[in-house]
Chains A and B, each alone.
Chain A
Amino acid sequence: MTYFTMQLLNGLQIGSIYALIALGYTMVYGIIKLINFAHGEIMMTAAYSIYFFITLLHIPFIPATLLAMLLSMALGMLIEKLAYRRLRSASRLSALITAIAVSLFLQTGYAILFTPDPRAFPVTASSFPVFYLGEVPLSSWTLITIAVALAVMILLQLFVTRHKAGKAMLVVSEDVKGAYLMGIKVNNIVSMTFAIGSALAAIAAALFIVSYPQITPYMGAMPGIKAFIAAVLGGIGLIPGAMLGGFLLGLIETMTRAYIPASLSQLSEGVVFIVLILVLLLKPAGLLGKSEREKV
């Protein structure tokens, strides 16, 4: 039972990180129907920014994260403007290939700039105090991760449903041309979506590198793909879907890793991909999505 509770908390912890990244994917997909393959790489760049702010400029962890969020927002908007804006009416194939190219560019660019060698992050989860719930050891970092993620998600949900700009975002994702005719500045809204998504990725990066204190240029790829799967699992384009999908995927992954027989441990890496294929088979619109009939 103790083991199970521990795994449950671990699952929620990694799941909240997946959920934060998945929000960026799902918002961008909802608004311009593009899988932003570079999203995981934005998280990677944020991790490097936080690392350098702390080690070179000696800024404390939280201000460093806030600065990294600003940098990622700028990067996200820059990528959108330079790489994606011209392709909004182009074929999906071109847009996807461009997204892959941007992700390759950031990966190799960072590998060349900062060498591909892993760097150890100075702040680790073990430096946070541990509580005991009965017999279950409970790191306060786990609680902080889950709480931060939940707070950010609630803020985002409030922004989207209450604030004018957030509502404009929903309108654009509904109908671009209609939004334009209603006087919404579509380009600004798309930029804003990228900025918000990138800021969330930076928060996810901060939470991720404390839990797994290793920074490499390729660290964004796997969490990025898994977060995308989380977004699909919850229903892509839906903000609550991304949250639900993230938590579920984190739980599924941790539980399989914990309970799979040791001889099959290699297979646990593939479980999330099997989840993806199953979701697409059984409910292609995702758990919260409604399947729409296609209009010609």
Chain B
Amino acid sequence: MPKSKFVSYSINLAAALAVYLLFHFLFSSGIVSRTLIDLFTLCCIFATAAVSLNLSTGLLGELNLGHAGFMSVGAYTAALITLAAGRSGNVGILLLSLLAGGLTAALSALVIGIPVLRLRGDYLAITTLAFGEIVKVLMRSMKITGGGQPLTGIALDTTYTIGYWALIITLIVIYTLIRSRHGRAIISIREDDIAAEACGVSVTKYKLIAFSFSAFFAGIAGGLYAHYAGVLEPSFFDYNQSVNFMVMVVFGGIGSLTGSVLSAFFLTLLPEFLRGIDTYRTLIYSVILVFLMHYRPSGLLGQRELSQRGIARVFRRERLEAQPISGVGGGRAVERENVPASGSAERKADSALRDRTGTSSGTPEEPLEHRMKGRR
């Protein structure tokens, strides 16, 4: 591992530990009420689900409307294992059940993914929706999952410590995945799958990898939720729940992991503190979603991350802006010189055409997110 990478990983881990110790101190000292601690745990669980959804929606670029279905698979698997083991408060069995929940969720993603991941975006979205519905129906009809009755008596073992570290581990794994060559392959599929295939990226294989990783962590989030709520109902993991996670991902930034965490916390806490807003919540979400898609299609944070390097960059930029830029090569001025003189007229003509037909000829001036996955 290069030294700079080692240093930055250690800083991030230390920061995670520091945040944990801060919360641990707050929670164990009794200043914070029990409900608030539970809320923090729930936020961590939802953030884990949102981050894992971001892998398939934000980084792979496929709309996944059945994320709650994967969560459901993981939740029921984990709950059934701990129920069979019959001992509560045993962290080892809990971790084992979480792992099993994640693996079954990943397995179901593989089973569904091998046939359908060859399909284009829209079909995939509708198939994941179908998957979520099928899971709901299955959980309702199978004897072992309660057969229409809620599954009760699950030990309340998910503490804030487990929730928090599950979230951190999820972040670490997904972050290192996307920073590896496999991750770059996944992102190249998002940008242009045909070009990626032409460069030798096996599109189906990497779609499957991203999809199953996403489902794995969704399954873990489901297992955590099972041991948080103590009761499981198939209807909790329905289409609306999947849309809820998608809203979190979109708000935080499509492709930004830390953005998902922030928005998951924000959107889970907001209705708790503004009780009156609850009836209007979905209405407000939907309006904000439409506006976001119109004016900021990549979400609030975009693809940026809230990282120590990002923070450092902000400070550096401030320092740079404070100094007067002098001499040749001072920043952006050079880029602008390269634009041909005829460029603006061409662009005007193109935008006129686009206004009337709603299509574009894809000039290079267009921002990347407009061209990505365009209609063909």
Contacts and interface: CB of A to CB of B under 8 A. Distances in A.
B293 A97 contact: yes
Contact of A89 (B126, B280, B360): B360
B115 A92 contact: no
A196 interface: no
B357 A186 contact: yes
The 3 A-B residue pairs with the shortest CB-CB distance in the complex, in nearest-first order: A88-B358, A266-B141, A101-B289
B146 to A, nearest CB: 12
Interface in B57-81: 57, 61, 63, 65
Interface of A: 29, 32-33, 35, 83, 85-98, 100-102, 104-105, 107-109, 112, 176-177, 179-180, 185-187, 190, 221, 225, 228-229, 232, 264, 266-267, 269-270, 273-274, 276-277, 280-281, 284, 294-296
Contacts of A104: 243, 282-283, 285-286, 289
Interface in B141-165: 141, 148
A228 B130 CA distance: 11
B335 interface: no
B133 to A, nearest CB: 5
B127 A280 contact: yes
A29 B283 CA distance: 26
Contacts of A112: 279-280, 283
A104 B290 CA distance: 11
Contacts of A228: 126
A221 B123 CA distance: 18
B376 A85 contact: no
A269 B137 contact: yes
Q: For chain A, what secondary structure do more than half of its interface residues adopt (helix, strand, loop), or is it mixed?
A: helix
9 contacts: A94-B293, A97-B250, A98-B294, A108-B283, A108-B286, A229-B126, A229-B130, A280-B115, A280-B116
A104 B373 CA distance: 24
Nearest to B360: A89
A105 B290 CA distance: 10
A274 B372 CA distance: 31
Contact of A105 (B239, B286, B370): B286
Given A109-B283, A274-B134, A87 B293 contact: yes
Interface of B: 57, 61, 63, 65, 112, 115-116, 119, 121-123, 125-127, 129-131, 133-134, 137-138, 140-141, 148, 194, 239, 243, 246, 250, 254, 279-280, 282-283, 285-287, 289-290, 293-294, 297, 353-354, 356-360, 369-370, 372-376
Contact of A277 (B116, B121, B239, B243): B116
A90, A180, A277 pick with most chain B CB within 10 angstroms: A90
A83 B292 CA distance: 11
A105 B358 contact: no
Contacts of B134: 270, 273-274
A43 to B, nearest CB: 17
A35 B122 contact: yes
A213 to B, nearest CB: 24
Contact of A186 (B148, B280, B358, B369): B358
B356 A180 contact: yes
A81 B126 CA distance: 24
A180 B133 CA distance: 41
Given A35-B122, A104-B285, A93 B61 contact: yes
Given A90-B297, A96-B125, A112-B279, A280 B119 contact: yes
Nearest to B192: A296
A89 B358 contact: yes
B359 A176 contact: yes
A270 B134 CA distance: 5
A176 B358 contact: yes
A97 B246 contact: yes
Contacts of A92: 63, 121-122, 373, 375
A8 to B, nearest CB: 25
A101 B297 CA distance: 13
Contacts of B61: 93
B354 A277 contact: no
Contact of B374 (A89, A221, A281): A89
Given A92-B373, A101-B290, A108-B283, A270 B297 contact: no
B138 A102 contact: no
Contacts of A294: 194, 376
Nearest to A185: B356
A35 B120 CA distance: 13
Contact of B137 (A176, A270, A276, A295): A270
Nearest to A274: B134
A87 B246 contact: no
Given A35-B122, A90-B370, A270-B134, A101 B353 contact: no
